[in-house]
Amino acid sequence: MIFRQLFDSESSTYTYLIGDASTGQAVLIDPVREQVDRDLKLVGELGLKLTYVFDTHVHADHVTASGLLRERTRCTVASGAGGAACADLQLHHGDEVRVGPSIFFRVLATPGHTDDSVSYLLEDRVFTGDALLVRGNGRTDFQNGSASQLHDSITRVLFSLPDETLVYPAHDYHGHTVTSIAEEKRYNPRLAGQSLEEFIHTMETLHLPKPQRIDVAVPANRACGRTPAPPPQGH
């Protein structure tokens, strides 16, 4: 398996490239529109062919490259059901996606940050989007977010994975690149030793500023990163 972790400094977004070495089939997880040329260059340099793009959710802080990558490579776009209607695959909990004969993803529904959030489990690692971050988690105050739902997604779905499972988030703002289920169970300050009520209180009192690009990013990402067409004008 070919694996690369890429970073967009403006939005602090991680994009992941996973490729099957035998067939050259590859997937990009959470690509950023401004990094399309970088990502496709790497795909070519590694002798891969992009066959899938996965988004973990409808992002509010950057515009996805999924639609543009589909236009340029004819790849299949996949995302959680109920988010981006433009996606070719609307994924639900328990769905499975194969990328080449040796790469097998299992979809985990992990709503709470947004109502369409999914994580992708691949062997010994899980790509958690904004549901579970390194020593943190995504906010729950927009896009039908729910603190209680996110707590369930983390503690009942993600924390049920083996302790040694590596956690690769969609973002990090402190220089971390990866964590593990065991680490987050023990050291995540919002979850370790905290009750559901304490978690909800924490999330309800964060008072975070509105994401700068949310008004642009969310409509664009519901259209796979392509600018939505304006509504027809009446005559």
Average pLDDT of the chain, as a whole number: 94
Residue 143: predicted pLDDT: 85
Percentage helix, strand, coil, to 5, in the chain?
A: 25, 30, 45
pTM across the whole model: 0.94
E strand intervals along 10-99: 13-19, 25-29, 49-54, 76-80, 89-91, 96-98
What percent of the chain has pLDDT above 70?
A: 96
Which whole number is the average pLDDT over 197-201?
96
Q: What is the pLDDT of residues 21-54, one digit of tens each?
A: 999 999 999 999 999 999 999 999 999 999 999 9
Question: Which amino acid is located at 120 in the chain?
Answer: Y
Spans of all domains in the chain: 2-211
Note the pLDDT of residue 227. Answer: 67
At 86, list the tokens.
């433009």
Q: What is the predicted pLDDT for the residue at 6?
A: 98
Q: Is the pLDDT of residue 155 over 70?
A: yes
**52-74, pLDDT tens digit by residue?**
999 999 999 899 999 999 999 99
Is 90 exceeded by the pLDDT of residue 189? yes
CATH of domain 2-211: 3.60.15.10
Please state, in angstroms and rounded to a whole number, the distance separating the CA atoms of residues 1 and 102.
Answer: 8
Terminal C-alpha separation, the chain: 56
- Element spanning 7, H or E: strand 2-8
Phi, psi angles (nearest 5°) of residue 170: -80, -20
